[in-house]
Amino acid sequence: MRALYYLPLCAALIGCESDVSIAPVTLQWMEWPAEVLAARPFPVRLIVIPVAVCQRRVFRAGISADQSAVTVAPYYLVEGGPTVCPPVMGGGGPFLPEPFFVLDTMTTAPGLSTTYARTFDIRGAADVSAAGAPVANDLPQRTFGAVTVRLSNPDTTRRNAAGVAILVRDTLGCALVQPFGFYIPDAAYMLEDQKDTAGVNYGFVRGYLHDAPAPVCGRTRVFHVVSRN
């Protein structure tokens, strides 16, 4: 089974001339529709921290589904060789390592078959240490939330989201939630309840994005916190 992982990398990288290794990664953040149609694939947003190597690599979401859940086990296919980044000259200054960025990407979850309206769990590789895991599926899994599958007329206005978050504030002092490691301007979501911020900063937060009845700090699209831990 492990040999099958090599095929996409051979096509995308160097034609199978070098060794290929599997580098599992954990999810920092995940977003998906709150409700979907039965048997119809749906989009899922993933934010992960890439493997800290300088070789050519190919990302795979590792997404699958069964009768109870959708599971995301992301990993990289990495070309063999040393894993230490060589120094590079930065802007006339000292030597610097390779820049470190999160990967923000979209993938597609398979359609979920059911003959009646029901929920499926959304699970993903946990934000815990799992050094040395040989394959992506060896990483611990945690439940990020759920998706409701309907036979018709799903609510498309709400989007679920969960992951490791930080609490940030804008120039007016309004509280926003932002995926950890995703330091891009205007990437944070306004918190619907501005007074309830306990446990949000550097916590694992579950919630959903929706249109508030009234603007919150000038925004109508807000993040409603369901749980935090």
Query: 64-68 long-range CB contacts below 8 Å, 24 or more apart?
Result: 64/110, 65/109, 65/110, 65/112, 65/120, 68/120, 68/121
CB–CB of 30/72 below 8 Å? yes
Per DSSP, 126 falls in state -
Please give the domain boundaries of the chain with CATH numbers for all domains: 2-80+98-150 (no CATH), 159-228 (2.40.50)
pLDDT of residue 213: 95
Average pLDDT on 169-184 reads 90
The C-alpha torsion from 217 through 224 and 144 to 34, rounded to 10°, is: -110
The sheet carrying 20-24 orders its strands as: 20-24, 75-79, 57-60
Q: What is the mean pLDDT of residues 67-72?
A: 97
Which residues, in sequence order, are CB contacts of 57 under 8 Å at separation 6+?
A: 23, 50, 51, 76, 77, 78, 79
What's the mean per-residue pLDDT of the chain? 83
SS3 89: strand
Fill in the amino acid letter for 73.
Answer: A
**Residue 56 DSSP symbol:** -
Residue 23 has pLDDT above 60, yes or no: yes
pLDDT at site 186: 75
For the chain, report the end-to-end CA distance as a whole number of angstroms.
Answer: 36
Tokens of 69: 């859940």
Can you give the three-state secondary structure of 174-212, one letter per residue? CEEEEECCCCCCCCCEEECCCCCCCCCCCEEEEEEEEEE
Residue 141 has pLDDT above 50, yes or no: yes
- More confident of the two residues 85 and 19: 19
Q: With cut-offs at 50, 70 and 90, classify the pLDDT of residue 181.
A: confident
Please tell me the pTM assigned to this model. Answer: 0.82
- Can you tell me the distance from the alpha carbon of 51 to that of 56, in angstroms, rounded to the nearest whole number? 11
Which pLDDT score, from 0 to 100, does residue 208 have? 98
* Confidence at residue 14, expressed as pLDDT on a 0 to 100 scale: 45
Judge contact between 49 and 170, C-beta under 8 A: no
Over residues 84-130, the pLDDT tens digits come to 565 555 444 444 444 456 889 999 999 999 999 999 999 998 754 43
What are 72's two structure tokens? 């995301």
Dump pLDDT digits (tens) for 192-219. Answer: 999 999 999 999 999 999 999 999 999 9
> Span 155-180, mean pLDDT?
95
Q: How far apart are CA 169 and CA 202, in angstroms?
A: 14
Percentage with pLDDT > 70 across the chain: 76
Asked whether residue 2 carries a pLDDT value surpassing 90, the answer given is no
User: One-letter amino acid identity for 134?
Assistant: P
